[in-house]
Amino acid sequence: MKLIDAAMRNIEGRERAAQYLDRELPGEDHDREITEVYSDESCTVYQDKGCSEVFFISHTGGWASTDNVEDDYLEVYAALVAAGVIDSMKTTFMRTPWGQADTARKMEGTDCIAVTTSTHGGIYVPNHLLPRIPDVERKLAAAWSGSENWFEEDCCALSVLFHIPATRKDGWTEDQVREWHKNAVLSQLGERA
């Protein structure tokens, strides 16, 4: 199937579908060959036949591709990783505030995604888990990454580990994480634990 054919599943007429794709996925070839790899009530995922690392996602918010760093795409990506549709250990197409991900893996016990790039990394926290992290710490994350969803590895990731305990590695005690959180995060905010 072609990308335009997928768009025509929800939009009547080739011309209207082409205009929609131009708005949602600027610069994409409408005749690109794709294969449907996943579908549920919230989204349909298509994989590029010529380049297996490229995915297109049609969801309630519109369309996204693996080159799109918008939060709606990341929410869908996180859901696909959580559902086991995308093998997070082999998926390296994810875009982050620090560039293309070298690795992206779902953190056990949660829908958070730990990423590394060639120079940096951090943790992506999906919208439904953000309320567990205090507003002031989400704002700090946004100051470092440009988004409240992204927690930079050196100074903000400990907010995730502290407030979402399921993300902690085996052997890390509550006291260790509390101390690291105090030193790495709260000290930046001028607060005392």
Residue 174 lies in a domain: yes
- Say if CB 159 and CB 185 are below 8 A apart: yes
Looking at the fold, whether 141 and 172 belong to one and the same domain comes out as yes
Domains in the chain, number: 2
pLDDT (tens digit per residue) in 101-122: 777 777 877 888 888 888 889 9
Tell me if 82 is assigned to some domain: no
Question: For position 171, what pLDDT does the model report?
Answer: 65
User: How far is it, in rounded angstroms, from Cα 58 to Cα 107?
Assistant: 25
Domain span including residue 1: 1-68
Predicted confidence band at 10 (pLDDT cuts at 50, 70, 90)? confident
Residue 95 shares a structural domain with residue 134:
yes
In angstroms, rounded to a whole number, what is the distance separating the alpha carbons of residues 181 and 183?
6
Cα separation, 44 vs 20, in Å, equals 16
Give me the pLDDT at residue 89, please. 44
- Give the model confidence (pLDDT) of 32-86 as tens digits: 999 888 777 777 888 888 776 677 778 776 787 765 544 455 666 666 666 666 6
Tell whether 99 and 36 lie within a shared domain. Answer: no
Q: What is the 3-state secondary structure (H, E, C) of 45-114?
A: EEEECCCCCCEEEEECCEEEECCCCCHHHHHHHHHHHHCCCCCCCCCCCCEECCEECCEEEECCCCCCEE
pLDDT, greater one: 135 or 94: 135
Confidence of residue 93 (pLDDT cuts 50, 70, 90): low
Q: Report residue 59: phi and psi, to 5°.
A: -145, 180
Q: Is residue 7 part of a domain?
A: yes
Smallest CA-to-CA distance from 6 within 38, 39, 37, 46 is with: 46
Lowest-pLDDT range of 46-60, 99-113, 124-138, 143-157: 46-60
Contact (CB, 8 A) for 121 and 115: yes
Which phi-psi region, left, alpha or beta, contains residue 51 (left: φ > 0; alpha: ψ -120 to 50)? beta
